[in-house]
């Protein structure tokens, strides 16, 4: 890891969660992996150079529904350099793996190449060749014939139907329909979001290598242990025999947490030809090889009194899933907790369509849910003639309205106040179309966002080496959010060493186990685990210092020693003062090593395996006496050209409550990244379907538009969080997903203020306003 | 694997001869050709690399006009001081095109040869029917996703939109393309799809673009390129207008006007009807808006691209009025 240049200063041994000793944790250390990434020195998973590497290229279905009649591989097999053509008939048989909850799978074979086609772009064959170019050329020669059947294109397809009711999503209290019917003011509107894609800069891919019955997979991963489990189950080898390596990740946004069928193809190919195999998806394949965000539809009805106080919310949601997979995008997640209401009803269906099974994408559930409720309350504000900020305060939920529990911390009122002040909200002219600059209609919009604090148990190894430097090891990952950096800060602060002296090693499943890096949980879990391991290492160090006869501190009391800046001495500086390296040398030790985990004390090996390879042991955010969420308020200015309908975001002020920030600089970057992604969602992003073929045609980054720098104004983010001891060991709440939640409705609300047009279907493209 | 041979041309004549052979294609910046080869549209047997030819990247500008060598890079032309001052629309069309990285690679000659972004044209594996790729195979776009397709100059065989910005500005100012000795107007260089959408340019085997020439004019000197798009950068136009204007001595009466549309037609689209309607008239917003509606005379939409018919005249009007403000 690249050396960073900020010294930690006068850290002391102690509990970092009190916030008073935040020289390390809480400092604005720059990303320690930054220089390696910007100079190209960082080696990503599929950049490994292996001897004998062969290349696999996927062949995908060109129909959305039907059966493969035949696959003619003769020309491909005869093509130069081809080592093997894999089809459903020739690929080795795998076993079905458990899902991410660890549910015991059906005892049946699994084939990652499809005979039954349920979406366009499904893997049907693969070609393995000596070179990538040879594999590409031969893949084009694989001739697949089909018996095509009618497909269900999307939610609006006449054949789609109402779908399957997901009873577990139902949330109800009071009598919402009756209260709605009796309310003097009623709002009812439908809100739609399209298919959206994670579009990480680094496409999905892997290198798989077998040595006997041991498999090594170099693959970008948000969850090494979870993916290793899947590979182990597919190939019926012990979990310990699978090693996942994922040192850096070029963006995941939820899409890299699971082992996917292309991984099964590559690992099968490697086993079949007895050589390492590399398979990287093309950019178009990343639009069908795994799922983006499901398209959603919601109706939100709000009944209120004339003062804008909500009496009832009735919410119905639908998201699409695949023909043979199940994805539930929880659309009532924000609806049910954002505002106080005595009567509430939310229900959700999922509808099967001929699509790849949708997947997790930054704030799954909360993101589209917020688009519905945060647009609807804006509509209510205009209906009753109350300022959109004021109506949110008037309906402020003082406790979790669904769980009926106290919030652990909810700095949302503070977020509204700080954001409004900085944005200048009080200068807003309330009427739509009342602010302009030449041809530009100006609109100001506000919306809130939230994301639950997902908690789990973590594990880490901390080593103090002979030279006094420190190693931290974990199989958790850094996909750009700053894990390398904050874990160095945590270890540095806990141990009393400069952050410069800490090397963090991540992304190898041989290291201490780690659960999924998803749901914004990693930082809270891993700082807690590193803090615990480092505390244990420090206890050993101090123990040695006072117990070993060769130590200059022999026979002193533990509480009379201070470790700071890599040196051990007395608090008053009146005794011996030696470096950690000198102490280790004097007592004849070349290292101190401690493993720390935050699992309950009586946990079994099975519990540990389950905790790190499934999400079944995640702690509910409403466990115990509290309901735990992060919160935010976005204030956004748009400029809409009155002739062209183009919407440009010209100002963003967001105030966010993620509790205590382990590193404000990195947290701010993540918030801004989420806000930028939200701008894309609001204005640009949409998978566009050819309804005749059931195929997304804008499957590349020239046609699937994500924001460029030119689309993004200066974004001001303000932290209003306070340490939340109920959410994590060191007081932080989730950061990564929070920022995107509420951005799209804030923009839609601003567009309404600018133009008087309410756009309820994302993205807000120019033809909807022209 | 699909092999091809690579030749590095040592002279313009050698390049022309080599490129005349069946299956041969010229390679300059490669930003279009390599992209199309990756998606299986271009399958050259021979690439003739002309980037080492000397003297083809010259940019010469004087009172009479500008001559720009075929190998001049888009970025260099966009930043050229005399192009900026005498042909602002050319510079603006270039710097609003593509991305900085592409502009630094792509050449002016290659830019004129840029192919359509029609998604059906670019995906042979999934859409066999494309008259532009294979004559007579049909059109997958008609009846499909058409938000980015042309509303002007279309035929029953093809509705693919011409995506370039530069050529839109070139046709507005009567630029010519030099194919060695042969010279023809850029407007004539680009062909309507008609029944032969596979033939996009009036260039014959053995010919090569060597330069473009743009006559100097007062209208070119007071010109602009207005590009409207969903995304602020690195995107093709929803609608764009290259406009140049010359006023009479009163500073209000339009003596000369040039208008061309981008992003809405199957080729760079000069709209003389708007020019003729406004020449001799005093520049007034209402007059300009009314005349701009003529820009989309004869337009035919295919559903999702209907907005272009609404949008294009507004872009034209805004561009003309903007130039009037600087009078």
Domain residue ranges of chain A, discontinuous segments joined by + = 16-42+456-613, 46-150+202-287, 365-454+622-768
Whether the CB-CB separation of A174 and A404 falls below 8 Å is answered with no
SS3 category, A563: strand
- Which pLDDT score is estimated for B326? 64
Contacts of B233 in chain A (CB under 8 A): 708-711
- Which pLDDT score is estimated for A9? 33
Contact yes or no for B120 and A697 at CB 8 A: yes
Mean pLDDT of B164-190: 97
| Interface probe with B: pick from A139, A703, A762, most Cβ of B within 10 Å | A703
The residues, any chain, with a CB within 8 Å of residue A344's CB and separated by 6 or more, are A171, A172, A173, A174, A176, A312, A313, A314, A315, A336, A401, A402
Contact yes or no for A766 and B311 at CB 8 A: yes
Which residue of chain B has the CA closest to A62? B126
Structure confidence at residue B325 as a pLDDT band (50, 70, 90): confident
Is B198's pLDDT higher than 50? yes
How close, in Å, is residue B106 to chain A by CA atoms? 17
Whether residue A122 lies within 8 A of chain B, CB to CB, comes out as no
Which of A284, A690, A710 lies closest to B144 in CB terms?
Answer: A690
Instruction: Report how far Cα B183 is from the mean position of its chain's Cα atoms.
Output: 17
Whether residue A709 lies within 8 A of chain B, CB to CB, comes out as yes
Whether the CB-CB separation of A17 and A528 falls below 8 Å is answered with no
Contact yes or no for B117 and A703 at CB 8 A: yes
The domain at A46-150+202-287 falls in which architecture?
A: 2-Layer Sandwich (3.30)
Which residue of chain A has the CA closest to B143? A692
Structure confidence at residue A27 as a pLDDT band (50, 70, 90): very high
Which of B1, B120, B145 lies closest to A688 in CB terms?
Answer: B145
How close, in Å, is residue A137 to chain B by CA atoms? 5
Contact yes or no for A688 and B144 at CB 8 A: no
Whether the CB-CB separation of A310 and A278 falls below 8 Å is answered with no
Task: Note if A686 is an active site residue.
Answer: no
- Which pLDDT score is estimated for A383? 98
Q: What are A561-578's pLDDT values in tens digits?
A: 899 999 999 877 778 999
Which of B144, B233, B311 lies closest to A708 in CB terms?
Answer: B233
Which of A645, A689, A710 lies closest to B232 in CB terms?
Answer: A710
How close, in Å, is residue B147 to chain A by CA atoms? 10
Contacts of A129 in chain B (CB under 8 A): 1
Is B146's pLDDT higher than 80? yes
Contact yes or no for A648 and B232 at CB 8 A: yes
Which of B40, B145, B307 lies closest to A767 in CB terms?
Answer: B307
Rounded Cα distance, B315 and B227, in Å: 8
| Interface probe with A: pick from B97, B145, B238, B241, most Cβ of A within 10 Å | B145
Is A10's pLDDT higher than 80? no
Is A158's pLDDT higher than 70? yes
Which residue of chain A has the CA closest to B128? A62
Which of B143, B238, B318 lies closest to A643 in CB terms?
Answer: B318
- Shortest CA distance to B211 belongs to which of B165, B236, B175, B169? B175
SS3 category, A314: strand
Beta bridge partners of A441: A436, A640
Contacts of A766 in chain B (CB under 8 A): 228, 230, 238, 307, 311
Rounded Cα distance, B149 and A656, in Å: 42
Structure confidence at residue B1 as a pLDDT band (50, 70, 90): low
Alpha-helical runs (H) found in B30-179: 33-38, 74-79, 81-86, 88-95, 100-105, 108-112, 166-172
Residue A336 DSSP symbol: T
Contact yes or no for B230 and A765 at CB 8 A: yes
Rounded Cα distance, A330 and A453, in Å: 16
Whether residue A437 lies within 8 A of chain B, CB to CB, comes out as no
- Shortest CA distance to A260 belongs to which of A363, A479, A121, A112? A112
Mean pLDDT of A214-221: 98
| Interface probe with B: pick from A121, A643, A693, most Cβ of B within 10 Å | A643
Mean pLDDT of A287-316: 98
In this prediction, does ipTM exceed 0.95?
yes
Whether A365-454+622-768 and A16-42+456-613 are alike in CATH topology: the answer is yes
Q: Answer left, alpha or beta for residue A108, where phi above 0 means left and psi between -120 and 50 means alpha.
A: beta
Structure confidence at residue B24 as a pLDDT band (50, 70, 90): very high
Looking at the domain covering A16-42+456-613, what would its CATH class be? alpha beta
Structure confidence at residue B174 as a pLDDT band (50, 70, 90): very high
Output the pTM of the full model.
0.96
What DSSP line would sit under B168-215, residue for residue? HHHHHTT-EEEETTEEEEHHHHB---TT-TT--B---TT----EEEEE
Contact yes or no for B2 and A137 at CB 8 A: yes
E strand spans, chain B: 5-8, 24-27, 46-49, 59-62, 65-69, 176-179, 182-185, 211-215, 223-228, 239-247, 254-262, 269-270
Contacts of B311 in chain A (CB under 8 A): 644-645, 766, 770
Options A233, A459, A685, A737, the catalytic residue: A737
All domains of chain B in start order, with CATH = 5-49 (3.30.43), 219-325 (3.30.390.50)
How many C-beta atoms surround the C-beta of residue A543 within 10 A? 12
Which of B2, B40, B307 lies closest to A770 in CB terms?
Answer: B307
> In the A/B pair of chains, how many CB contacts fall below 8 A?
88
Contacts of A702 in chain B (CB under 8 A): 117, 234-235
Q: What are A166-182's pLDDT values in tens digits?
A: 999 999 999 999 999 99
Mean pLDDT of A108-113: 98
For A234, the enclosing helix (H) or strand (E) is: helix A224-235
Q: What are A697-749's pLDDT values in tens digits?
A: 999 999 999 999 999 999 999 999 999 999 999 999 999 999 999 999 999 99
Is A8's pLDDT higher than 70? no
CATH of domain A365-454+622-768: 3.30.365.10
- Which pLDDT score is estimated for B327? 53
Rounded Cα distance, A327 and A336, in Å: 20
How close, in Å, is residue A483 to chain B by CA atoms? 31
Which residue of chain A has the CA closest to B227? A644
Q: b/e for A470-495, b at 16 or more Cβ within 10 A?
A: bbbbbbbbbbbbbbbbbbbbbbbbbb
């Amino acid at each position: 890891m690249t050396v960073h240049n900020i010294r930690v200063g006068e850290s002391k041994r102690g509990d970092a969660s009190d916030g008073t000793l935040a020289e390390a944790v809480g400092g604005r250390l720059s990303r320690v992996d930054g220089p390696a990434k910007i100079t190209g020195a960082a080696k990503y998973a599929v950049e490994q150079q292996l001897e004998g590497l062969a290349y696999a290229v996927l062949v995908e279905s060109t129909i959305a529904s039907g059966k493969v009649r035949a696959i003619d591989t003769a020309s491909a097999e005869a093509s130069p350099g081809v080592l093997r053509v894999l089809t459903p008939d020739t690929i080795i048989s795998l076993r079905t793996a458990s899902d991410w909850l660890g549910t015991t799978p059906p005892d049946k074979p699994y084939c990652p190449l499809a005979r039954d086609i349920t979406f366009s772009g499904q893997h049907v064959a693969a070609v393995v060749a000596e070179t990538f170019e040879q594999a590409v050329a031969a893949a084009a020669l694989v001739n697949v014939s089909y018996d095509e059947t009618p497909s269900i294109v999307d939610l609006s397809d006449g054949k789609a139907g109402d779908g399957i009711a997901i009873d577990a999503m139902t949330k109800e209290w009071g009598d919402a329909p009756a209260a709605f019917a009796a309310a003097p003011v009623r709002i009812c509107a439908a809100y739609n979001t399209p298919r959206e894609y994670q579009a990480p800069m680094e496409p999905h891919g892997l290198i798989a290598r077998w040595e006997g019955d041991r498999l090594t997979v170099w693959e970008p991963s948000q969850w090494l242990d979870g993916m290793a489990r899947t590979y182990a189950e597919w190939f019926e080898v012990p979990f310990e025999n699978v090693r996942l390596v994922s040192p850096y990740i070029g963006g995941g946004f939820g899409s890299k947490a699971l082992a996917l069928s292309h991984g099964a193809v590559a690992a099968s190919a490697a086993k079949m030809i007895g050589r390492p195999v590399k398979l990287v998806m093309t950019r178009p394949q990343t639009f069908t090889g795994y799922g983006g965000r499901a398209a959603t539809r919601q109706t939100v009805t709000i009944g209120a009194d004339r003062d804008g106080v909500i009496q009832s919310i009735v919410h119905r949601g639908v998201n699409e899933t695949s023909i043979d997979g199940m994805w539930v995008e929880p659309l009532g997640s924000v609806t049910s907790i954002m505002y106080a209401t005595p009567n509430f009803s939310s229900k959700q269906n999922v509808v099967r369509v001929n699509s790849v099974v949708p997947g997790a994408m930054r704030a799954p559930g909360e993101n589209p849910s917020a688009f519905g409720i945060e647009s609807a309350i804006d509509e209510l504000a205009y209906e009753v003639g109350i300022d959109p900020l004021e109506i949110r305060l008037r309906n402020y939920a003082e406790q979790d309205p669904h769980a009926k529990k106290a919030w652990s911390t909810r700095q949302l009122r503070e977020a509204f106040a700080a954001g409004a002040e900085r944005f200048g909200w009080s200068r807003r002219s309330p009427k739509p179309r009342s602010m302009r600059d030449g041809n530009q209609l100006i609109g100001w919009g506000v919306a809130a966002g939230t994301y639950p604090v997902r908690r789990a148990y973590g594990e880490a190894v901390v080593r103090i080496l002979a030279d006094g430097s420190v190693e931290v090891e974990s199989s958790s990952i850094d996909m750009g959010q700053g894990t390398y950096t904050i874990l160095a800060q945590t270890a540095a602060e806990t141990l009393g060493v400069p952050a410069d002296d800490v090397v963090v090693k991540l992304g190898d499943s041989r290291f201490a186990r780690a659960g999924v890096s998803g749901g914004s949980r990693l930082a809270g879990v891993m700082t807690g685990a590193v803090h615990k391991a480092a505390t244990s290492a420090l206890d050993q160090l101090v123990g040695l210092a006072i117990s070993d006869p060769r130590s200059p501190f022999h026979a002193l009391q533990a509480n009379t020693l201070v470790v700071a800046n890599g040196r051990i001495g007395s608090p008053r500086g009146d005794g011996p003062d030696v470096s950690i390296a000198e102490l280790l040398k004097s007592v004849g030790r070349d290292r101190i090593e401690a493993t720390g985990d935050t699992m309950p004390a009586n946990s079994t090996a099975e519990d540990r395996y389950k905790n790190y390879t499934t999400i079944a042991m995640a702690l509910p955010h409403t466990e115990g006496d509290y309901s735990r969420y992060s919160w935010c308020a976005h204030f956004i200015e748009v400029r809409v050209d009155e002739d062209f309908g183009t919407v440009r975001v010209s100002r963003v002020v967001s105030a966010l409550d993620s509790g205590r920030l382990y590193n404000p600089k990195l947290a701010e970057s993540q918030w801004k990244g989420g806000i930028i992604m939200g701008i894309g969602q609001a204005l640009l992003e949409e998978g566009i379907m050819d309804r005749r073929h059931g195929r997304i045609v804008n499957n590349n980054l020239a046609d699937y538009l994500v924001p460029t720098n030119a689309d993004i104004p200066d974004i001001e983010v303000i932290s209003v969080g306070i340490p939340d001891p109920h959410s994590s060991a060191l007081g932080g709440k989730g950061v990564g997903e929070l920022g995107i939640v509420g951005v799209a409705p804030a923009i839609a609300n601003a567009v309404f203020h600018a133009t008087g047009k309410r756009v309820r279907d994302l993205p807000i493209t120019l033809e909807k306003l022209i | 694997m699909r092999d091809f041979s690579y030749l590095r041309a040592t002279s313009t004549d050698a390049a022309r001869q080599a490129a005349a052979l069946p299956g041969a294609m010229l390679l300059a910046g490669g930003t279009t050709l390599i992209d199309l080869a990756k998606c299986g549209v271009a399958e050259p047997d021979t690439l003739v690399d002309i980037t080492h030819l000397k003297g083809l990247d010259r940019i010469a500008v004087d009172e009479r006009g500008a001559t720009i060598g075929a190998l001049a890079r888009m970025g260099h032309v966009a930043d050229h001081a005399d192009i900026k001052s005498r042909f602002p629309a050319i510079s603006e069309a270039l710097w609003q095109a593509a991305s900085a990285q592409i502009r630094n690679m792509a050449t002016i000659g290659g830019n004129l040869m840029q192919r359509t972004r029609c998604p059906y044209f670019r995906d042979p594996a999934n859409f066999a029917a494309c008259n532009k790729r294979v004559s007579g195979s049909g059109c997958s776009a008609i009846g499909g996703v058409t938000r980015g397709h042309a509303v002007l100059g279309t035929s029953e065989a093809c509705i693919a939109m011409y995506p370039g910005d530069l050529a839109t500005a070139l046709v507005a100012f009567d630029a010519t393309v030099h194919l060695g000795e042969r010279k023809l107007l850029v407007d004539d260089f680009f062909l309507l799809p008609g029944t032969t959408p596979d033939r996009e340019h009036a260039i014959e085997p053995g010919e090569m673009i060597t330069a473009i020439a743009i006559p100097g004019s007062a209208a070119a000197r007071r010109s602009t390129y207005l590009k409207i798009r969903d995304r602020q950068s690195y995107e093709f136009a929803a609608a764009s207008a290259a406009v140049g204007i010359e006023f009479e001595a009163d500073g209000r009466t339009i003596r000369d006007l040039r208008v061309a549309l981008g992003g809405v037609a199957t080729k760079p689209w000069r709209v003389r009807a708007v020019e003729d309607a406004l020449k001799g008239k005093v520049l007034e917003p209402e007059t300009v808006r009314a005349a701009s509606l003529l820009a989309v005379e004869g337009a035919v939409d295919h559903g999702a691209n209907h907005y272009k018919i609404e949008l294009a005249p507004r872009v034209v009007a805004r561009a003309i009025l903007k130039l009037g403000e600087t009078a």
